[in-house]
Structure 1
Amino acid sequence: MNIIIFFLVGLIVHVVFFLSIFDIYFTSPLVHGMTPWATPLEPPASRLVLVVADGLRADSLFTPLNNGSSRTSYLRRVIEERGTWGVSHTRVPTESRPGHVALIAGFYEDVSAVAKGWKENPVEFDSVFNESRHTWCWGSPDILPMFAKGASGDHVYTYTYPAEEEDFASTDASKLDTWVFTQVKSFFQSAKSNSSLKASLLEDKNIFFLHLLGIDTNGHAHRPMSQEYLDNIGLVDSGVAETVALIEDFFGYDGRTAYVFTSDHGMTNWGSHGAGHPSETLTPLVVWGAGVNHAQRVTEPQPYTDGYLQGVKLSTLLVSQGLLPLSYLNNTDRFKAESMYTNAFQVLEQFKVKMTQKKESTLSFLFTPFQ
């Protein structure tokens, strides 16, 4: 009899522990209903161009060629002359969906996504795309729709190639990135003769998102040390240079465009990603344009560069987690102070909603608010 009781008690304890895992880890921590806060001052940029080179490792971008030159000559000039650069740190799982959610929605996606589908929105979340006036996106049919689906209104426009183009057995997947750059070029050319589109483009709070899957696909098919992977990085660099020139010309070099170049995750030497190895979690970050600090000269050696850069200060960056990346901002002290003030209230609003939810789900005599 004692053995049976011991077995039943042990079984109950294990069942409780098992169910607690789903309650703790498979329940979304996101909250809704916060009062929005915004900085009253005019932002330094009217538009943002976000370029994500899917699967690009930090060292693959920053490591120089044998002769000391760089396969990314344009981005290197940006870093040395007019931008701020760093190494961003992704979090496990280092996959495309959670990486892009962190970049565009500003939070690390919770584990509940595993149980609710990869391409659909497992939980409702806001994103910078949703808060924009207009967002135009080009790239993969696996990534773009998840940000358009949850957007309010009809202001997030997606342009994707057919899903069958994402062929991991392809001899060279850089054609996926060529498709994106070609479409962006055609888009701005057509806007010159399309008055309604041109009027929308000339408004503020616009975002242009270029999702480049070629590097990731070539990495899976040929490994990150392959010529296909490395050549694809050079192709992306040339494409970014041409796109920036195109955009600057369209907007009359008004100095109101901010650019962000980064990656959603890296890749191991054997062509995989998803775990927490530095080759998967360390990704490059290059930011320049309106409101961004210029290159800062230093004498001490900089990490991650491996001879790629000499004397240009690195600014590391973690996904925000509620903290403003002040080292990247080029603006007045008042603007920075107002931004920090607004950011504090945004965090406080989340705390208030969390506290209300906790109070409603807890017995009154067990609930004790923080002082």
Structure 2
Amino acid sequence: MFNGHFERIFSTMFLIISSLFVHIAFLVSVVDIYFKSPIVHNIKPQSSPLEAPARRLVLMVADGLRADSFLGADDLFKTNASHLRHVIEEREAWGVSHTRVPTESRPGYVTLIAGLYEDPSAIAKGWKDNPVEFDSVFNESRYTWSWGSPDILPMFAKGASGNHVYIDMYGSEVEDFSGRRSTTRLDTWVFRKVEEFLNHAKTDAVLNEKLHQDKIVFFLHLLGLDTAGHTHKPHSVEYKENIRVVDAGIKRIEEMIEEFYQHDKKTAYVFTSDHGMTDWGSHGAGDKSETETPLVAWGAGVRGPRPSTSAEPSSPASWRLGHLSRSDVSQADVAPLMASLIGIPVPVNSVGTLPRDYLEVTEHHLSELMFSNARQMVAQYNKKRELTEAGSLSWIYKEFSVLNRSKETKLTDQIRSHIRAKRYTESVSTFLSFLCV
């Protein structure tokens, strides 16, 4: 009798311990798979050998601006964003930039500027700091000057090698979510600081010399709309008034930059957002209002407007833009676009693909840009393959057969051969087939 009792106890304990072990194993595997940094180091940057279409880039990010709030062409929009509406109609390429969850500010900016989707371990730091340093468009630039919030700017200066990323921030106490103060003052602060900076450069010979070099970036972080959305909601008068202020500020900054550089037609402009916002003023999840943001590009190297085709995404009637070609992108594609415009390497850990539909360059130039994008992806892939192989038992490790070393070499050699033979269409087609692997 006692033996049977002890057997039951032993059997029960064994089941409990086995179940606990299995649950721990599953938990560890989930953390190991999904909370591993996508960032790897010691990758050689790749760049195009040809002269860049632009010498400088102006990146303007309206934090928390959803696509339909910006692109919707009701009467109020026409009044509040007349400049950017004119740019869309007359001078630029536009579309929707599709973000990923979590639709928070830090992941959005990392994707836009570094081309990679956020390191999951950053959640442990509240999306505020870099758990692992990463490459970015700012890091690859010759110089970057940025203005805006202390929540965003420091992470790109911290992750940059050398001292060539400059930041100018207001204090955290200025970010008021109580609704008692106008949210537009966050954006007017940025516009005022940029204006003061350009005026100062006219009398500062050292700064003026830096500003007249190539491969430079100006970054304007505009937080007012995000604050307005949280405190007043995206359909409020305050939110739409903030759009008007941003629109007017962008027009003024563009005029000043063009005047400073004597209208040399070597400046590229990119306007977008890090994430959208729900009707009730929140973000973080995957609702369409949170994941669809506007993308507007114009200036040097960017194509002008052209008629839409049936193959392109259809736009809501309220946007009144159905007659214009719309070019949608994944948010990570913005980084290789910006890098290609000013002739710097695509950030080494970028997963973005150059959105060629935004560019106005020769077929040769486009082929070289896409080839450098392909080499950057191959270099990243090879480094991750090396790390995986080094961390695996030799008798367990199996190479990914769809893109093994021989196939990878064959594809890159084909692209290079097509470019040398001036078969540019074929080189682009081979690059696209490489992406489908």
Identify whether the pair has TM-score above 0.5, normalized to the shorter chain.
Answer: yes
Instruction: Tell me what 1:131 maps to.
Output: 140
Cα deviation code 1:91-128 (max 9, x no counterpart)? 10000000000001111112111124532211110001
Please name the residue that 2:295 is paired with.
285
Matched, 1:343 2:352: no
Q: What stretches of structure 1 of length at least 5 have no aligned partner?
A: none
- Indicate which of 25, 34, 39 corresponds to 2:34: 25
Matched, 1:361 2:391: yes
Indicate which of 122, 143, 156 corresponds to 2:152. Answer: 143
Structure 2 equivalent of residue 176 of structure 1: 186
Letter aligned with residue 247 of structure 1 = I
Are 1:160 and 2:160 matched, yes or no? no
Tell me the distance in 1 between the aligned counterparts of 2:70 and 2:124: 34
Matched, 1:56 2:65: yes
Q: For 2:39 and 2:319, locate their aligned partners in 1 and report how far apart those are by CA, in whole Å.
A: 42
**How far 1:68 sits from its partner (Å)?**
8.1
Q: How does 1:219-298 map to 2 (within 5 A)?
A: 219-298=229-308
CA distance in 1, matches of 2:142, 2:63: 25
How far apart are 1:232 and its partner, in Å? 0.2
Aligned-pair CA distance for 1:307: 3.8
* 8 Å contact kept, 2:94–2:297: yes
**For the residues of structure 2 that align with 1:138 and 1:355, how far apart are their CA atoms?**
38
TM-score normalised to structure 2 length: 0.82
Q: Does the 8 Å CA contact 1:62/1:305 hold for their aligned counterparts?
A: no
Q: 2:77, 2:379 → 1: CA distance?
A: 50
How many residues are matched?
371
Structure 2 Cα separation of the partners of residues 220 and 197 of structure 1: 38
Partner SS for 1:259: strand
1:207 equivalenced with 2:237 (yes/no): no
Q: Secondary structure at the match of 1:130?
A: helix
Partner of 1:120: 129
Is the 8 Å Cα contact of residues 88 and 282 (structure 1) preserved in structure 2? yes
Correspondence for 2:4: none
Map 1:31-50 to 2 at 5 A.
Answer: 31-50=40-59
Note if 1:195 corresponds to 2:205. yes
How much does 1:62 deviate? 1.0
Q: With structure 1 as the length reference, what TM-score do the two structures score?
A: 0.97
Q: Is the 8 A contact 1:63 1:306 kept in 2?
A: yes
Measured against aligned partners, the alpha-carbon deviations of 1:49-68 in whole angstroms (never above 9, x if no partner) come to 00000000100011122478
Structure 1 counterpart of 2:339 = none
Partner amino acid for 2:320? Y
Q: Does 1:315 align with 2:327?
A: yes
Farther-moved stretch of structure 1 (66-75 vs 209-218): 66-75
Contact 1:50 1:210 in 2 (8 A): yes
1:87 aligns with 2:117: no
The separation in 2 between residues aligned to 1:259 and 1:118, in whole angstroms, is 27
Q: Does 1:185 align with 2:195?
A: yes
Further displaced range: 115-124 or 89-98: 115-124
Larger Rg: 2
After superposition, the Cα gap between the structure-2 partners of 1:248 and 1:32, relative to the gap in structure 1 and judged at 3 Å, is: same
Q: What is the alpha-carbon distance in structure 1 between the residues aligned to residue 75 and residue 126 of structure 2? A: 44
For 2:13 and 2:26, how far apart are their aligned partners in 1? 20
Which deviates more from structure 2 when the two are superposed, residues 54-63 or residues 318-327? 318-327
List alignment gaps of at least 5 residues for structure 2: 1-9, 334-350, 405-437
Q: Deviations over 1:159-193 (max 9, x none)?
A: 00111000101332110001000111111011111
Q: Which residue of 2 aligns with 1:325?
A: 355
Contact kept? 1:70, 1:76, Cα under 8 Å: no
**What is the aligned-residue RMSD (CA, Å)?**
1.5
How far does the alpha carbon of each residue in 1:337-359 deviate from its partner, in whole angstroms, 9 at most, with x for none? 11111111111111111111111
Whether the 8 Å CA contact 1:62–1:304 is kept in 2: the answer is: no
CA distances 1:253-302 after superposition (whole Å, capped 9, x unpaired): 00100000000001011111000001111001100000001001237694
**Residue pairs, 1:63-82, within 5 angstroms:** 63-66=72-75, 69-82=78-91
SS at match of 1:366: coil
Aligned equivalents of 1:166, 1:340: Cα separation in 2: 41
Maintained 8 Å contact 2:136/2:156: yes
Distance 1:68 1:347, change over 3 A: closer
